Amino acid sequence: MKKIKSYEITSEKLYFNRRFFIKAGLTGILSSISSKLYSFHNNEEYRFNYKLKVNDKLNDFNEITTYNNFYEFGMDKSDPYKNSGNFKPLPWSVKIEGLVEKEGVLNLEDLIKDITIEDRIYRLRCVEGWSMVIPWQGFSLSKIIKKLKPLSNAKYLQFETVYRPEEMPGQKKLFNTLRGILPWPYVEGLRMDEAMHPLTILSTGLYGHDLLNQNGAPLRLVVPWKYGFKSIKSIVAIRFVEKEPSATWSTVNPREYGFYSNVNPNVDHPRWSQATERRIGEFKRRPTEMFNGYGEEVSHLYNGMDLIKYY
């Protein structure tokens, strides 16, 4: 696998703009970033595991940070960018609960202490039919799981997003959508073997620096073979449980959003086809790939399962 430095995949303009921010004392959007996390994302020797296909290219920084789904800040794709300025991602702590030896509350620095950061590039596809190619940075969730020592009867993980209606305007009241009522806080879940897969990461950054608020600062899940709503943002709790946990979308509208939510072009959403997708920045739609193109790595997780029934 080819390894390259960050400036080789980041546009030259963006790369030197980032250098300017560093030299300017981390002003503006970088002013609140913790030095520990920032050192992970801006080391000149920081390397990406390069995994782009021939016909793929990275979406640019502006696309990745201004076109987002994060309903806690509003329903329009531009709302997270426009409405997340008052959100305070630091300091941050995560509750560890359930069937695990090391229960408790860990601040973010302790959570990632002694973990070797692994950079990967993933394609993040969403159920609405659009996708991006994003240079996520973070570490394998499995390293956290092993560190916390789950009990043998822990078969699933549930994740929870922060609830701060004073900072997240979309949480100020329950709001109606075409899919029903969305309750807060947002929750998601994975089966343990999905969570332990090396492609499943907790992301703390993208494009060479810490996550911005609209992208799920300071800690989010990235599961590259599933639709984007599985990649829960701004995580404040991780629970180890024995039975399949509730997940927001599959709870409020199970007809449209199954618990597994794997990218499967053969399973249509009730209101549209998922056989093709639109890549942000491209006009022509492209065929949707099974498991988002990661079938070789993850298909064994679902051997013997009916992936039309368990969608």
Q: Does residue 27 carry a pLDDT above 50?
A: no
| Residues 17, 46: Cα–Cα separation, whole Å | 17
Dihedral over alpha carbons 202, 213, 67, 171 (to 10 degrees)? 100
| Residues 285, 61: Cα–Cα separation, whole Å | 21
Closest CA to 89 of 237, 238, 234: 234
Q: Does residue 306 carry a pLDDT above 90?
A: yes
pLDDT of 201 reads 92
Interval 196-233: pLDDT, tens: 999 999 999 888 788 999 999 999 999 999 999 999 99
pTM: 0.84
pLDDT of 289 reads 93
The arithmetic mean of pLDDT across residues 173-178, rounded, is 50
The arithmetic mean of pLDDT across residues 75-90, rounded, is 96
Task: For residue 307, tell me if it sits in a domain.
Answer: no
Q: Structural domain tally of the chain?
A: 1
Domain that holds residue 127: 3-302
| Residues 65, 63: Cα–Cα separation, whole Å | 6
Closest CA to 4 of 42, 39, 45: 45
Kindly state the tokens that stand for 32.
Answer: 């609140």
pLDDT band at 123; cut points 50, 70, 90: low
Alpha helices (H) in 119-196, listed in sequence order: 141-148, 192-196
Can you give the CATH number for the domain in which 261 is found?
Answer: 3.90.420.10
Task: For residue 310, tell me if it sits in a domain.
Answer: no
Rg (CA), the chain: 19
pLDDT of 239 reads 98
3-state secondary structure of 151: coil
The arithmetic mean of pLDDT across residues 288-295, rounded, is 93
Cα 71 to Cα 2, 79, 90, 270, distances in angstroms? 37, 8, 20, 21
Task: For residue 228, tell me if it sits in a domain.
Answer: yes
Closest CA to 18 of 37, 57, 44: 44
pLDDT of 17 reads 41
Task: For residue 98, tell me if it sits in a domain.
Answer: yes
Task: For residue 308, tell me if it sits in a domain.
Answer: no
Q: Does residue 284 carry a pLDDT above 50?
A: yes
Q: DSSP state, 115?
A: P
3-state secondary structure of 120: strand
Q: Does residue 14 carry a pLDDT above 50?
A: no
Dihedral over alpha carbons 82, 85, 89, 90 (to 10 degrees)? 160
Three-point CA angle 177, 170, 222, nearest 5°: 85
Closest CA to 69 of 17, 126, 152, 108: 126
Give the DSSP H or E segment for 297.
helix 295-298
3-state secondary structure of 240: strand
For residue 67, the one-letter residue type is Y
Task: For residue 88, tell me if it sits in a domain.
Answer: yes
